[in-house]
Structure 1
Amino acid sequence: MMKSLLILALFASSTAFAQVEQELDSFGGNEALYMKAKALNPEVESDVVQNRFSQRTNRFELAPEFSGVFGGDAYNRTTNAGINVHYHINPSWSVGVKYNYAFNNLTPEGQSMVDKASKAAAENPKDPNYLFPQVIYPKSETLALVNWYPVVGKLSFGKLGVAHFDTYLLAGYGNIELSNNTTSEATLGVGMGFWINKNLTTRLEYRAQQYKAEYYDKTQDMLTGVGSVQMGWML
C-alpha cells in the first residue's frame, strides 16, 4: 500500500512540474489560468501573452539595412544601404554576411577647405598657396557575422497586441573598400529585434568598427560607430 502511494505521489509531482515548466516556456500563455484570474477579479483588465510563434532553427533571414556612420575621416560623412543574410542555427545562434554600399558627402568644414583650394588653384594654377585636403572615405564593406541571442521576451501593448523581441550581440570580420585601397575590418555590436509576425522583423542595431586608413603622410586607426535599422524576412 505504501509503495503504491509513493508511486502515485511521484507521478503527481512529475505531472505538476511538467505543467509548470510548460507554462514558463510559453511565457505565461495558459488560457485556463487567464480565465480563472478573470473570474476572481473581473474588474481588472488582463492580457494573455501567447506562445512564441516564429521558429528559428535551420532557417534563413534576409534583412535590408539603412545605416549612418559616426566618426571616420573628419571631412567626410557616410550613410550606407545594404543587406544582411542570416542563417539561424537555432533560436540562440546565427551566422551570416553583411554587405553595405556607402554614400559620402563632405562635411561643412571639408567643403570649405575644398572651396578654398579651388579658389587658390584658379588664382595661381602653377603654385597654389592652399592645397586640396586628402579625404579617405569608405565605398563598400563585406563582413562575416556571428550573432548570439541571449534574451528573448514579449511586450504587451494592451489592446494593440503583443510584440515579441530579442536582444543580441554580434561580432564580425571582413573587408572595407576605401577611396584609395581595401583593408581588413573588425566589428562588435549589440541590437534588438522586434517580430511583427511569423516572418517579418525589425532590427535596431549599433556596432563599433575598426580599420586602418592610409594617408599620404601617416597610417591612422579608424574607430567608427554605425547605427542601423533593418527589416528582416524569415524564409
Structure 2
Amino acid sequence: MNYLTKNLLQFSAALIICGLSSSHALAQDASEQTRKPVRVVIPDKRVDAAQPATIDTEKFELGAYVGMLSVADFNTNLVTGFSLTYHITRDWLAQVQMGQSTVSRATFEDIADANFLADGEYDFTYTTLSGGYRIAHGRSFLSTKGKYDSAIYLLAGVGNIEFAGNSAASGLLGLSYRVVPTDWMTINLDFKNHLFEREFLDTTSQTMNNELNIGVNVLF
C-alpha cells in the first residue's frame, strides 16, 4: 500500500466517523424536541353583549332643570325648576313641575321708557301636572364607545300660571326626550308650550309661551 492510498483511507474513515457523530447528535435533538409537549393557545372569541342602563324597578324621578322661556309679547329669559316624575308603566308617566323665570322688560316698554308692570309682576311662575306617553324608544349613541336607552314622550297637561298680575289656569303641550346613562340617573331635553289667557293693558288674549330646558333626574 503506497503512501497516497493510505492517506485516502484515513481521510475516508475520518469522514465516516464525523458523519456518524453528527447523525447521532441530530437524532438526539429530534428526540428531545418530540418529547417536549406543544401547547396550543385558543383565543376566547366570545364577545359580551352590551347591556345599556334602563329603568327597571325604579318608579320615581326627582330632578332639576334649566332652560329658556319665551313669554308672549316679552323677551326670552332663563327659567329654572324642579320636577317629580312617576312611571306608571313603561309607556306612561305622570309628572309635576314647578318653574320660575324673571321676565325682562318688553321692547315696547323700552321704547316708551316706562314699566307697564310692577316689580313683582315680572316673575313668571308655573305649576303643572301632566301626563306623558312614549311614542318612540331605542338607543342613543352619545359617544363612540357607548349607547344608552332613550325614549321620546308626548306631553299634555294642565296647571296654573302667575304673571303680570294674572293667576290663571293653563294648558301644556310638549315633547320630552329622555336618556338613561346609568341605572340611577336620567337626562331629559324638553320642549313645552304653556297656554293661558292673560289680561294685559285692558286686553285679554290667549298666549303661547314656549320653553326649552334640559334636566337631570335621580331614580329611586
Q: Could you state the TM-score of these two structures normalised by the residue count of structure 2?
A: 0.69
Residue of structure 1 in register with 2:203 after alignment:
218
Residue of structure 2 in register with 1:105 after alignment:
104
Change (3 A) 1:197 1:214: same
Match runs of 1:73-222 below 5 Å: 73-74=73-74, 76-107=75-106, 110-114=109-113, 117=114, 132-133=115-116, 137-156=122-141, 160-222=145-207
C-alpha contact 2:171 2:195 (8 A) present in aligned 1? yes
CA distance in 2, matches of 1:219, 1:64: 33
CA distance in 2, matches of 1:217, 1:195: 47
Residue of structure 1 in register with 2:62 after alignment:
62
Offset from partner CA, 1:58-96 (integer Å, 9 cap, x none): x1101211121224123x443211111011112111112
Offset from partner CA, 1:82-119 (integer Å, 9 cap, x none): 111011112111112110012222245533432xx4xx
Q: Could you state the TM-score of these two structures normalised by the residue count of structure 1?
A: 0.65
CA distance in 2, matches of 1:72, 1:54: 37
C-alpha contact 2:69 2:101 (8 A) present in aligned 1? no
Offset from partner CA, 1:144-171 (integer Å, 9 cap, x none): 1101113221134675222221111111
Offset from partner CA, 1:156-214 (integer Å, 9 cap, x none): 46752222211111111010011312001101101211111001111111111211111
CA distance in 2, matches of 1:158, 1:48: 17
Regions of 4+ moved over 4 Å: 134-138, 156-159
- Segments of 5+ residues of structure 2 without an aligned counterpart are 1-44
Larger Rg: 2
- Segments of 5+ residues of structure 1 without an aligned counterpart are 1-34, 39-46, 118-131
Give the number of equivalent residue pairs: 174
For residue 162 of structure 1, what is the amino acid of its counterpart? K
Q: CA RMSD in A?
A: 2.6
Change (3 A) 1:176 1:157: closer
For residue 55 of structure 1, give the secondary structure of its aligned residue in structure 2.
coil
For residue 67 of structure 1, what is the amino acid of its counterpart? G
Identity over aligned pairs, percent? 20
